[in-house]
Structure 1
Amino acid sequence: MNAKVNITNRAGASFPVRRMDFDFDTVPEYWMNKSAGLTHFMTALSALFPAGEKFFIDSVRAVRQHPSIKDNQELQREISAFIGQEAMHTQEHVGFNASAQKFGHDVDRLDRITDRVIQSTRKVFTFLGKPVGITQEMVDLTATTALEHFTATIASQLLVNPYIQELMTDETMKTMWLWHAIEENEHKAVAYDVFEGVFGRGLKAYALRTGSLVTAMATLFVVQSYFVLRLLQDDKQLNLTSLKDIYIYAYSPSKGVITGMTKEMLVYFRPRFHPNDLDTHELLVSWKAKLGF
């Protein structure tokens, strides 16, 4: 494994917190198959994580003492482990983003844009929803639930798609993304269980969570695509070769990481959906063994 790791489970949750320490100093500029397009696509994703995962943590913390869940000790343990894992994801993506920054790619600016988009979007939707009783906590938690479904789904693609794994030719980055993918699936149900515990399964809750998914995915697509184009343009790599690499990797019908997500993303619209309906247990057992967890 290309990182020091300390695995703890002090909270007694169903999944541990792995305290990673990746060394990004030796990661090359174009670490993904020597392709500027592929590398910048993943860097654009990474630029979303520090502000995004802080938002996830804050959203869950804001309601963890709600009367309907505060005495649920099992869920409280899961929340503690969720926060621990997300904090570690933030730390390691900050480290990787800094390594990209040293090559002149302005990831710090993209991180600031991500935070502004999150804060402005949540405030707008709270303002629009106020007349029908939608609170800031509801907006934040449902957005977190939707985005956690996205991260768990794209994480599953990283774990099941050998084409994607083969393109991750730098071992440090490959291990970092696979570790992140494992943990996104380990805690994929926590935010959803908090949402359901606080807001139930009624029609209003269903409309809110599905509407949040549509809004979150549209926003995410626009922002991440802008980040990719900005990184490529600033790097003078906005050309047909880079765009072709991105298309095949992300959007091609047979291999694309994004197109491969479609079926699982749509499952979210089932009225009785739960994240654990998508069984990744054996997949995680296999990958944890491969990574030495």
Structure 2
Amino acid sequence: MRVRQPEFDFSNSHAHWAPNLEFAQSQNGASVGIPPLERFLNRVMAKARKEIKGDDPESVALRADVTTFIRQESCHYAMHDRMNEMLVRDGYDRVPELEREIEAHYARLFETKSLAFLTAYCEGFETLGPASAMAWCGDSLDAYLKDSDPNIETMWRWHLLEEYEHRHVCYDVFKRIHGGYFLRIYAFFYQLYFFSKYAGKVKNYLLEVDRAKMDAAERKESKKREKMVAKMMMKNILYNLLQVLSPSYRPHVLPIPKIWQQLESDIDAHWIKPQQKAAPNQDLTASPAGHPA
């Protein structure tokens, strides 16, 4: 794993950053929830790291993995915070209010749930990363990303590139803290419900504002496109998510997304300061340190 800090300029970006505004707003809806969620992930992983004791190679490697995970997620939510500012700038005034609602949800979870459940919740959410990376670090979204804002498109690709890269960390932590299959599956569906609920709530608000400026025919077409986008996104990730339900599921051995290496090279060449490029990368075809395949 490697912490990258690419530079994206959102000063001229807008909510309709892709030609299909329903696709753009769907992603924007998810983006608003990412800073509260990833701050929550970091709090849980920092708490769990204190419980991973011992100087054996596996414990040392897992603590190091958690540290890198936290640093990557910190870069992610900071970048999404910056991107989300454009939504307020574009007149979607309720975005800060909706983000506070999402933040309160994760604060309640952190204060009221056991560490075993919290790590299972984090593992549940992190299963969405590799599934989404297969789309964003592949070519299945090309039709939707044609003529999109390159800063926002590459931001999402970078984010999902690293979500794939640290796909094993929350799984390994959960296995260390609890590891039970039924808790993992329960937490997977629990987090999926709430993530979908809040992302959908934000998306619906954004599209409501958009559709207030449309006539009846335009609104009808917009709703039709929204359904097509939802169907496309579900098709892109459903197969990969079904693997999560297997008792033998292990994220360590998931296939590398189609253009992962090409995308990493492009980000290194065009979006990252030269001094960061010397940082070594983990061989993604190998098992993480201390965790045999």
The list of structure 1 runs, each at least 4 consecutive aligned residues, that deviate by more than 6 angstroms after superposition, is: none
Choose which of 230, 234, 237 in structure 1 pairs with 2:205. Answer: 230
Which residue identity does 1:155 align to in structure 2?
A
Give, in angstroms, the shift of residue 112 of structure 1.
0.9
Which residue identity does 1:84 align to in structure 2?
R
- Matched residue, 2:68: 81
Choose which of 174, 178, 181 in structure 2 pairs with 1:195. Answer: 174
Normalising by structure 2, we get a TM-score of 0.82
- The alignment status of 1:213 with 2:188, answered yes or no, reads yes
What is the rounded CA distance, in whole Å, between the counterparts of 1:38 and 1:195 in structure 2?
Answer: 33
Aligned ranges 1:233-248 → 2 under 5 Å:
233-235=208-210, 236=212, 239-248=219-228
Per-residue CA distance 1:195-229 (angstroms, 9 max, x = gap) = 112223xxxx1110101111111222222222111
Find the residue that maps to 2:157 and give its secondary structure: helix
Per-residue CA distance 1:215-269 (angstroms, 9 max, x = gap) = 1112222222221111111332682222222222231xxxx12222111111111
- Matched residue, 1:5: none
- Matched residue, 2:285: none
What is the rounded CA distance, in whole Å, between the counterparts of 1:158 and 1:195 in structure 2?
Answer: 26
- Matched residue, 1:24: 10
Normalising by structure 1, we get a TM-score of 0.82
- Matched residue, 2:127: 149
Change (3 A) 1:230 1:282: closer
What is the rounded CA distance, in whole Å, between the counterparts of 2:261 and 2:44 in structure 1?
Answer: 29
Asked if the contact 1:30–1:36 (Cα under 8 Å) also holds between the matched residues in 2, the reply is yes
Change (3 A) 1:67 1:98: closer
Greater relative CO, 1 or 2 (CA 8 Å, sep 6+):
2
Give, in angstroms, the shift of residue 122 of structure 1.
5.6
Asked if the contact 2:130–2:160 (Cα under 8 Å) also holds between the matched residues in 1, the reply is yes
Give, in angstroms, the shift of residue 67 of structure 1.
4.4
Which residue identity does 2:209 align to in structure 1?
D
Per-residue CA distance 1:129-172 (angstroms, 9 max, x = gap) = xxxxxxx2112111110001113311221222143553461111
User: Any gaps of 5 or more consecutive residues in structure 1?
Assistant: 1-14, 127-135
Change (3 A) 1:163 1:244: farther
- Matched residue, 1:61: 46
Change (3 A) 1:89 1:98: same
Asked if the contact 1:154–1:258 (Cα under 8 Å) also holds between the matched residues in 2, the reply is no
Per-residue CA distance 1:64-105 (angstroms, 9 max, x = gap) = 121456752211221111111100001100000011111111
Structure with the higher strand share, 1 or 2: 1
